[in-house]
Amino acid sequence: MSYTVDFVTVSTVGLESSPVAAALAGLRANEARYYKNKLDHDFTVEPVAEAPAIVDWVHSVLQKERDIVIASRPLEVTDFEVEGIRRAYVFYESGLSINVMYTIADASKRAVGFKLSDGMEVPDELAASFKFARQRSKLAGTIRGSYFLIRGEH
């Protein structure tokens, strides 16, 4: 069942199995606030079992671009298009959030972003290749993030 993320009252719905569920919920709410305020889009997630194609697409981008395989179990996903840009998110049990931003018409804005919830360690599969910058969020505490540009077609 899909869930529209409320960034006013942060909930761990769908994320309860994560050891950093509260921080991951804050990270998810932070994303919801961004999209609502900037693009007037309601950020709605659904369990992985209801949309496995989203996880498959994100994982194929990671595999083909950087030979990255995420060890953590995916919990929730969302996929939407706003202003000609496809955006897909996967939220993982470890507290990791991965988003793919992929322009439809041209290759001008295509990237993969990683965000780490407050309290989680950098996953082994990302530690050697990425440096993570810190950002403070009222909803999520300290968010650490990194990204890479997508070069191929997906």
Give the residues of the chain that fall short of pLDDT 70: none
Q: Tell me the HSE value of 13 on the side-chain side, using a 13 A CA sphere.
A: 14
pLDDT for residue 154: 87
HEC secondary structure over 85-124: EEEEEEEECCCEEEEEEEECCCCCCEEEEEEECCCCCCCH
Q: Specify if 33 maps to a domain.
A: yes
- What type of residue is 19? P
pLDDT for residue 131: 95
Domain count along the chain: 1
pLDDT for residue 58: 98
pLDDT for residue 49: 96
pTM of the predicted model as reported, rounded to 2 decimal places? 0.95
pLDDT for residue 66: 97
Q: Specify if 97 maps to a domain.
A: yes
pLDDT for residue 107: 77
Q: Specify if 154 maps to a domain.
A: no
Q: Specify if 60 maps to a domain.
A: yes
* Of the candidates 54, 70, 71, 72, the residue with the CA atom closest to the CA atom of residue 62: 70
